[in-house]
Chains A and B, each alone.
Chain A
């Protein structure tokens, strides 16, 4: 593992990487918020039209 030299002398360190993962997760969460309600409504409409529950994958 001698060639793994960069983890301390790069511009970023492991802490930055952790922060990055957390902040990307927040951004992804908020971009998903836009579809959250639409997803629910779509599921409900599909259920009504199909006359069955689709939530738990029962067809």
Chain B
């Protein structure tokens, strides 16, 4: 598995069928992982919306609290200690760190998507360009593309795993 990338010297199986199989396999894995990521993004969207709603509610309640408190004959219905409006606006530091990390994974995903496009689209164009003159080189290049695809595939899985951990942890910060 891990040591099959250094076969470049000998290339015992520089075989177009093998290369095709490998490309198909990596592509299927990528599509499957994108499916997992889709579910995780739905979950993280829900959590973030909830965070935003909680924050907004706290703002509204906070304002009512201040208004009520300022009203002349208001009943003392204030069991919660008074908070500054700034404090009411904030999410916890931990949630903040999680959100920053989630954002980083989202960016990474965009980058990987661009990389996939480059591998497959420019790759196909390059192979087509050189295959007439140098079919063997075209095949060697195709093998490199398959390896690139497999590296991208593993990175996408890593993003999925990171997202999964981050989203689960974020969900754990809601204690109601």
Contact = CB atoms under 8 A, between A and B. Distances in A.
Is B one of A's binding partners?
yes
Interface of B: 11-12, 14-17, 19-20, 23-24, 27, 30-31, 34-35, 37-38, 41-42, 44-45, 48-49, 51-52, 55, 91, 95-96, 99-100, 102-103, 106-107, 109-110, 113, 116-117, 120-121, 123-124, 127-128, 131, 135-136, 138-139, 142, 145
**SS class of chain A's interface: helix, strand, loop or mixed?**
helix
A18 B136 contact: no
29 contacts: A3-B11, A6-B16, A6-B17, A7-B14, A14-B139, A17-B23, A17-B142, A18-B127, A18-B128, A18-B131, A20-B20, A20-B23, A21-B120, A21-B124, A22-B120, A22-B121, A22-B124, A24-B24, A24-B27, A25-B117, A27-B27, A27-B31, A31-B31, A42-B41, A42-B48, A46-B103, A49-B91, A50-B100, A57-B107
Interface in A41-59: 41-43, 45-46, 48-50, 54, 57, 59
Given A3-B14, A45-B52, 14 more contacts: A4-B14, A7-B136, A10-B17, A12-B17, A14-B127, A14-B138, A14-B139, A17-B16, A28-B27, A28-B30, A42-B44, A42-B48, A50-B96, A54-B106
B115 to A, nearest CB: 11
B16 A13 contact: yes
Contacts of A34: 34-35, 38
A59 B123 CA distance: 34
Given A14-B139, A25-B121, A28-B120, A35 B37 contact: yes
Nearest to B49: A45
Contacts of B19: 17
Given A14-B127, A17-B142, A32 B99 contact: no
Interface residues of A, number: 40
Contacts of A12: 16-17, 20
Contacts of A17: 16, 19-20, 23, 127, 142
Give the residue among B49, B106, B142 with the most A Cβ atoms within 10 A. B106
A37 B81 CA distance: 41
B45 A10 contact: no
Given A14-B138, A28-B27, A38 B91 contact: no
